[in-house]
Each structure stands twice: as structure tokens, then as C-alpha cells.
Amino acid sequence: MKIGGYVGKIAFIDLTKEKTRIEPLDMSYAKAYIGGKGVAARYLLQYIDPAVDPLSPENIFMIWTCPANGTNAPASGKYPIVTKSPLTNIWLDSHSGGAVGAELKYAGFDGLIIVGRAKEPSYIYIDDGFIDIKKAPHLWGKNISETRKIIKNELGDPQIKVLSIGPAGERLVKFANVDSEGRQHGRGGAGAVLGSKNLKAVAIRGTGSVEVAYPEEFMRACEEMGRLDIFENPEAQFGIKWGSIALMWPIQEVGALPTRNYTDGRFEYASNIDANVVLKHSIKRGACFSCPIGCHNYVLIDYGPWANTLVEGPEYETADLLGANTGTSRFDAIAKANKLCDEYGLDTITAGSVIAWAMELFERGLITLEETGGIELRFGNAEALVSILENIVNRQGLGDILAEGTRLASQKIGKGSERYAVNVKGLELPAYEPRASPAMGLSYAVADRGGCHLRSWPIGPECLNAYWLGAKPIKLERWSPENKAIVVVQQEHQYAAKFATGICDFCCWDNQRLTNILWTVTGFDEYKDVRNFELAGERIVNLIRIINVRFGVTSKDDKLPPRIHQDPLKTGPAAGRVLREEDFNYMKSDYYKLRGWDEEGRPTPEKLRELGMDEVLNYVSRR
């Protein structure tokens, strides 16, 4: 059997001891969990202390690659970083596109495992298998684009790929992100983990290549995926023409567009911030590594107080959370806020959510003008949106509290402010309203990293008749709890396996074609069979749940914020609705049963044996 897609080496880097060791990749992990977040999860389970403080030197930070990274498979640039989140205190993986994943493999590694804390600000330089920890006090305080430029200039190579943090990560903002050559690992605060380690960046240069096991079959599989899943697929064309911002139209139509801190399901000024407006100001398009879709818009603002703002975006989630959810209808303000997040290193989803929450508190009189530092923090105040972002990054005044995210900030402010904080397990919800899409409510509640839309997306079959998104065609009645759990389970398996392969979520929702790519790249005969591809996804879901159980997650944590159950939506087709707790509990119980988990949401030894995961049983507490 030929083996391709893997370099076969991983690097352990201890910043405290300034030592590095290189070990072979455990290929049994690759067979069972494919790559990316799957293999990273297996190593995290092995090496992390469940009680570790996410901002301590002992926390583990990983950069991992996927089998398709570095090949010319369509849209194969996605790769993850993995750590314990300072925002949620549980599992975190965050994916980004671009070319960093491919470059790491070209440089000779499938993954990096980083621990410790550097004595002073530093960055890691990797050059074709050589690893150097470089002192970098001159980079501390620099914005992300400055950091990238300085590193490339001082190393004398513009082709170096740089993964870096901005000032938000340095100041340990709990939702600081990690930049990947202009793309973002956005959620959960991984940037703060790097900041706590005094690690400003990882710079990578490689001249190697990635072999695939069966080149002729691989090229046929790529051609078929490109033709059927991109160029002849009507659903994929919206990405080519518009980018993700086109989602605003259908989500607004079904009344699931979070508006004014999740009080409304439609935004009356959506036409001011939608795809037509983005394309009006777009000056060019961009694409990730090996991607024929090219969904990125580069927008230039040529008017108003923020003229000459050039930003990649805004994507749909950003336009909603920084826009509709804060009541902001000025596109120039959203673009400016997006630019600040990108340069300072902030997750736009949590940033928009925490600001919208603070705006509601201000309007309810729970925080005062004195506490905001004179900022009129009202819905729709574009200047306030930009100003408070600066305060968050600088941890100034109220911004110091908001930098903790809505869960911790609400505990500090008190006064009943928890009632209006919209998060799951500490991770703020993205741009799909669960009172308008009950299945999304279940998806958020059980997602492994907290409130997340990239574990499953059941709003597709539930509200948009989009059965191409990985769920088998099961008839769903929108407001009924029936059959919602099975759709979430099916999609979770596909998303987990697909992301572990390295194929972007914008491309290919056919499991057979994904299996064809995986088999021809790796040569693992198991992945000739689509059922084994889906089984690998199920293994990954169970593996990460074991990690989260060890971090302290129980069934009590698989819940939605009070607003979703208690406050009826004000506008849209779901106006007057809440997600009834009895319906939610029915879906969650059904989900646990389908998963083969116990009533506390724990994978059982019987289920793990069924999945061929006997080797992790010693990590499961005996009950």
C-alpha cells in the first residue's frame, strides 16, 4: 500500500526550555482520525492536563495540517490550530484558509505542538525542517500587517508564510484571533494563548512537496469534484459570484438574521450592508490555496470619516454581528470595524456580539455614560461601534471588561446582565437565529467548541430546502422537534471528516467525492468506502467529546442562553416565537440517544468499542 498526503513528522517546541524535538507521526492516528483537528485531538488527549489554565505556559498550542493540504485538490487550503480556549475553558479548534498549512508540509511537518512561555517576545522560524526561536521585542505592539511585513523583510524572503497575533492577543483579550496571511483563525481566543506564551508569530518557509498515493486516480477525483461541486453546482456559484455575504438574503428572508443583540430576526436596513453593497465597493477578489472559487472580496471605502479603509471582507458573519446585531446600518463603519479587528487581531463574531450586548445594557440603564467613558453606546451608533472596539483592544475602561467576552463580562457587571448574554459555553452565537431555526439551537448547544455554525448547519434543510449540505433528505417540519437530531448528527460526521481532510466548507458536500479525494491522496484502502469516511467523522466527534468531558463538560452545559427560551422574537416569520424548553430537551435527548452517549452526554465504552476506539478507553472515567 502506498501512503501519501502526510510528511510523517511532527515537531514539539518548548518555548521555556528553548528546545525542539522531532518525532514520527503516529500513522495509526492518521488512519483512525484522518488529519487536521482529528489527529490533533488525539495528541491533545494524550498530552494535555485537563485542569490546565488556558493562559498558563503548560497549555498546548498546535498548528496542524490535513492530508489534502499542499496538493492541488480543489479548495484544499483549510487547516486548524488547536488549543484549550481561554474564552470557554474547553476544546478549541479554529480553521483558516490561505497557504500556511501547505507551507508547513512543504517545510517538512504534519504538525507543531508548542508549550511553555518564552522569556521575552519571540517568534518561531521554520525553514525546511530547521526550527529557530527568534527574539522579537521589536514586534510587540505591532499590528498584524506590520508584523508580517517586518518578518518577511528581516528574513529576506517575501514567500515566507506568517501566522501571527496583534495587540489584542498580547493583551490577552479572551477573543483575540490568530492571523494566517490575511485569513483569520477567528474563534475562541487562540490569539490570547499565543500572547500568554510571548509568541508573536510563526514564520514558515518550505521547498518540499506533497506526494499523493495514486496520482492518476487523484486527478480524476479532483476533476470530478471541481466539475460537479463547483462549476456545475448552482449552490456553489453564489460563492464565486458574491462570497459568503450572499447568505444575508436568504437568512433575512426566513427571519433568522440576528439583529440588535438577538431581539429581532430581520434588519430593516439589510439592503445597506448586503452583497450588492459589498460588490459595489469591491476592488478585487481573492482565493485561498488551490481554490477555484475565490470567495474573498477586497473592499475599499472611498467616502466619509473612514475613507481609504481597505479590508478583506466583510464576510456574512462579520456583516451581521458587527452590523445588524449592533443595529449599525452604515457600511463604512462595518468595514472600518472589520479592518480594526483584522489588524488588532479580534474575532469579529464575538466582538460584534459583546458590543451588541453592551449596547442593550446601556439602553436598559444597566451601564452608564460614565462607565462607557462618554460613549453613547446605543444600537445603530456607528461611531460608538468603532470607538468601543479601540477600548476593547486597549483594555481601557469598559473595554477591559468586554475583552473577557459576554459570559465573564456579565459575571463582572452583574445587575441581571447575564439575562441578555447570548453565548453557549462562553462562545458567542454566530449569525443564525435559533428561535427561527430550532435545529440550529440544538447544533449550537452540542457543538464541541461552544456556540458554533461550523459543526453542523441544519438551517439549510430546515428552512432553506438546502439538502445538499450533507444531510440525507429527511422531511423536516420547521417548528417541530422531530428528526432535528438526526440531521445534526449526520452533518457533524460529515463536517468533522471533511475538515480533517482539508477541504473548505464552501466546496463539495458529496461524501463519496470527498472519500475519493481522501483515498487517492492517502492510499488508505479503508477510505475507498464512503461508510468509513463517515465513521472517521463519528470517531472525531466522540474523541473531542471525551476531551471536553475531561475538561468538565456535562449535559448541563449543552444548553442555550435564556433569551432563546424566554424572549419572543420581535420581527420576521418567527416573530412571537421562542424555542420551547420542552422541544429543546426533546431534541437534545434524541441527539444523545442517536450518538450512543449516556444521559450526561458522555461517550460510553460500548460506543467507543463499536467505533474501534478501544485505545482511548483508558481516558474515559469508569462509571
User: Who's near 523: CB < 8 A, 6+ residues apart?
Assistant: 1, 2, 3, 4, 5, 213, 214
Note the pLDDT of residue 623.
46
Provide the pLDDT for residue 504. 86
Half-sphere exposure for 275 (CA within 13 Å, toward CB): 18
Beta carbons within 8 Å of 609's beta carbon, 6+ residues apart: 617
With beta carbons less than 8 A apart as the criterion, state whether 298 and 312 touch.
Answer: yes
Position 233 scores a pLDDT of: 72
Domain 428-619 class in CATH: mainly alpha
Report residue 560 as a C-alpha cell: 442555550
CA distance 377 to 298: 29
Residue 508 pLDDT = 72
Tell me, rounded to whole angstroms, the distance of Cα 546 from its chain centroid: 20
Q: Do domains 9-205 and 428-619 have the same CATH topology?
A: no
Q: HSE on the CB side for 393, CA within 13 Å? A: 24
Separation of alpha carbons 238 and 247, rounded Å: 9
Give the integer Cα–Cα distance in Å for 72 and 215: 11
Q: How far separated are the first and last CA of the chain, in Å rounded?
A: 41
Closest CA to 169 of 152, 192, 203: 192
pLDDT value of position 242: 80
What is the model's pLDDT at position 586? Answer: 98
Which CATH number applies to 9-205? Answer: 3.60.9.10
Question: Which pLDDT value is given to residue 509?
Answer: 76
Give me the sign of the Cα torsion angle 399, 404, 410, 412.
Answer: negative
CA distance 191 to 445: 24
Distance CA 144, CA 169 (A): 11
Nearest Cα to 326, choosing from 274, 376, 265, 258? Answer: 258
Going by DSSP bridges, is the β-strand pair 296-300/111-115 parallel, antiparallel, or unpaired? unpaired
Geometric angle at alpha carbon 37, from 10 and 311, rounded to 5° = 100
Q: Which CATH number does 256-426 carry?
A: 1.10.569.10
Helices (H) and strands (E) in the chain — how many of each? Answer: 24, 17
Residue recorded with cell 480533517: 500
- How many CB atoms within 10 Å of residue 505? 19
* 179 neighbors 139 (Cβ within 8 angstroms): no
Please list the ranges in the chain whose pLDDT falls under 70.
1-2, 234-236, 467-473, 622-623
**pLDDT the model gives residue 274:** 95
Helix/strand/coil (H/E/C) assignment for every residue in 129-146: CEEEEEECHHHCCCCHHH
Average pLDDT, the chain: 94
For the chain, what are the domain ranges? 9-205, 256-426, 428-619
> Quick one: pLDDT at residue 590?
98
Q: Which of 602, 490, 504, 491 is nearest to 554 (CA)?
A: 602
